[in-house]
Structure 1
Amino acid sequence: MGMPDAEGHGPSDGLPDLPPEWGRVVVPDDASALAEEARQVRRELRQARRPAAGRRRPAGAAWPSVGLPVLVLLVALLVTLTGLAAVTWPRSSRSGGAPTVLPYPTAPVGPLPALDLVGPDDAPVPLRSLLPAMIVLVDACSCAEQVSTAAAAAPPGVTVVTVTEDRTAASATAPGVRPLADPAGGLRSYLHLSAHPGTAAALLVDRQGTLVRMVPELGPVADYRDDLARLAG
C-alpha cells in the first residue's frame, strides 16, 4: 500500500511508494516544464565524468588530505630499514668465540732516524753504527728462545740487537746478542708501534738504514730467514 506524502496526501494511483523525505511530488501535465531540471541534471552528470585533474576546486572547498597516507608510508619504510639494520649490524662475539684480532699498523718504509741507544754501561750507541741489524723490541716480552733462534740464524756481519725502554733490563739474553736500551721510546714512536704483552717485534734494517721489513710478532725463523739473509748482501 502507498503512504501519504509529506503534506498528508495519499499516494497517486499507479505510482510506487516514495520516501517521505522527498515531500510532495507534483507531476506536471507538460513535460517541457521539466526542461530546466533536465539540463541541470545533465550538467551535473558531465561534471561528474570529468577527470579529477580537470576539475576546479569550488570556492571554500579543500582537496582531500594526503598527510595520513604519507605518514603511514614513512612509518612502514622506517620499520623496514630498522629491521634490515638489525639483521646486518655486526654483533659482538659470544663467549667462547674467537677474539677480534686488530691488524698491526703498517711500518714506514725508508731510513730509520739517527737515534742513539744506551748500552749497559750507560754509554750512547748510535743506531746506525750497528747496521745491518735485526733489532728485537723486547720491552713487552723477553722471548729468550725466539731471540736465541734469530741470533743463531743471522749471517755473518748482521748484528742482532735487543732493545728495551728500561735501562736496567738491557742485559744479554743469548750469545751473539747485543742488549741496548731506548729510554725515550724513539723507535716505537717512529714506528707508531705499541707494545703487546707476550710478543716481541723485530725490525730488519739494511746497511743503508732502510727498514726492509717489520715482524710484528717474532715467531719461527722460517718466517723471516730469507729477509735476514739479504741483509748481509
Structure 2
Amino acid sequence: MGKPDADGPEVPDLPPEWGRVVVPDDASALAAEAARLRRELRATPRRAGGVVRGRPSLALPLVVLLVAVLTTLAGLAAVTWPRSGRATPEPLATPYSPPSGRPLPALDLVDAGQSPVPLRGLVPAMIIMIDGCPCRSEVADAAALAPPGVTLVTVAAHRAVPATPPVGGAAPRELADPAGGLRAFLHLPARPGTATALLVDRAGILVKVVPEVRSTEDYRADLARLAA
C-alpha cells in the first residue's frame, strides 16, 4: 500500500523525530485523518498578529477614535494659539475736517423749561458743547474771556445743565440739543471728558471749531475778534 519515505532517498531533509512517514498510493486513504484535522482547526481559535480570530477586535475602533481626537485638538490649537508678530493693526484715524466758513444751521435748541431757542438768534456766540462732560472749568474760563456782546452758550445732550456762576464774567446760556442736530452738522461725535467749542460771527458763519478744548489758547484770539 505504501512505502516508507522518511529514510528513503525520495524524501530527504525530514526531521528524524517525525519517525517513519508513510505516503499512501491512494490519497483517499487520508480522508478520515484530514476530516479530523479540519474539525480540530475549527474548534481551535486561530491567532494572527496577536489577535484571536473569530473574536471582535477593539484595536481598530480605538485607533480611529484616537486619530479623531488628535485631529480635533490640533484644529483647536491652530485656531486659538496666539500668533506672535501678527497683531491686528489699529484702524487709521480719519483726519477731522471742520465745517468752518459755513453758516450755522437753523436749529432750535431747548432751554431748561423745554422752550425752543433759535440758535442763530444768539450770534455772535461761543458755543461750548458739554455732552461729553460737564466741563465746568472750561466753561468758567470761557466766561471770563468772553467780550461784551458775545453770547456764551453751553449745549448739553438731553437737558440744559446749570452752569457754575462765573466770577467776573458773562453768565452762559444753558441749552440742550435732544435731537443731536448740532453734532450731526459737525460730523464730530462726543468724547467722554471732552468739551467742543464753536465760534460764530455776527453773520452766523462758523469761524472756528475746537474739537477738544484743552486751554484758553485754543480760542482766545478768535473769541476776541467776534466782538469786532
Q: So what's the TM-score if we normalise by structure 1? A: 0.55
More strand by share: 2
Call closer, same or farther: CA 1:163–1:113 in 2, change over 3 Å.
same
Instruction: Give the Å deviation of 1:106.
Output: 2.6
Aligned to 1:186: 181
Equivalences for 1:1-233 in 2 at 5 Å?
92=89, 103-167=95-159, 169-175=160-166, 176-233=171-228
Q: Answer with 1 or 2: which has the greater Rg.
A: 2
* 8 A Cα contact 1:133 1:161, kept in partner: yes
Deviant stretches of 4+, over 4 Å: 89-93
Structure 1 gaps, min length 5: 1-88, 94-99
Structure 2 gaps, min length 5: 1-85
The residue type equivalent to 1:203 in the other structure is L
Out of 108-117 and 194-203, give the one that drifted further. 108-117
Superposed CA deviations along residues 33-69 of structure 1, whole A, max 9, x for unmatched, are: xxxxxxxxxxxxxxxxxxxxxxxxxxxxxxxxxxxxx
In structure 2, what is the Cα distance between the partners aligned to 1:225 and 1:178? 19
* 8 A Cα contact 1:144 1:174, kept in partner: no
In structure 1, what is the Cα distance between the partners aligned to 2:227 and 2:138? 20
* 8 A Cα contact 1:110 1:211, kept in partner: yes
Report percent identity of matched pairs.
58
Q: So what's the TM-score if we normalise by structure 2? A: 0.56
Instruction: Give the Å deviation of 1:122.
Output: 1.1
* 8 A Cα contact 2:154 2:175, kept in partner: yes
In structure 2, what is the Cα distance between the partners aligned to 1:231 and 1:161? 14
Instruction: Give the Å deviation of 1:172.
Output: 2.4
The residue type equivalent to 1:195 in the other structure is A
In structure 1, what is the Cα distance between the partners aligned to 2:190 and 2:215? 20
